[in-house]
Amino acid sequence: MNSPMLLNFSHPLTPDQLQDVEARIGCVLTEQRVQVHVADGDSMPKAVQELLDAVDFSIAEWQTRPLLMVLPGLAPLTACLLAEVHGRCGFFPTIIVLRPEGQGLLTMFKVTEIVNLSALRMGARRSRLG
């Protein structure tokens, strides 16, 4: 079985954050950080295709590899990214949510949730169907 892949489209995770995620999911991850830069005026769908083409996955890996993601902060880019990933995989990925922690002088970020977007979608479908 393929080891789960963490595609990180945001800031690098600290060793503590990565260890927290691995403890929550119960296995070791392979992390690939994807550098994101979209210039003003660039097409979001085209930028997302280029970002995901830079991930070295075969067609079969996109469809079979367990996938977690740290999403980029730019909302329109994230929406396009999730649509493209769903098209390549046939499902939505699981995402990692980081939030600022504490109120001290230093801003630290903590893993607060791991959300399975496919499960969220299925729950929404059930509520739509009554």
Q: Give the tokens for residue 72.
A: 């980029």
Q: Are strands 67-70 and 94-101 parallel, antiparallel or unpaired?
A: parallel
- pLDDT of 1: 59
Domain boundaries, the chain: 5-129
Q: Please state, rounded to an integer, the average pLDDT across all residues of the chain.
A: 93
| Contact indicator for 112, 97 with CB cutoff of 8 Å | yes
pTM score over 0.85? yes
- pLDDT of 128: 77
- pLDDT of 80: 97
Spans of the chain, pLDDT less than 70: 1
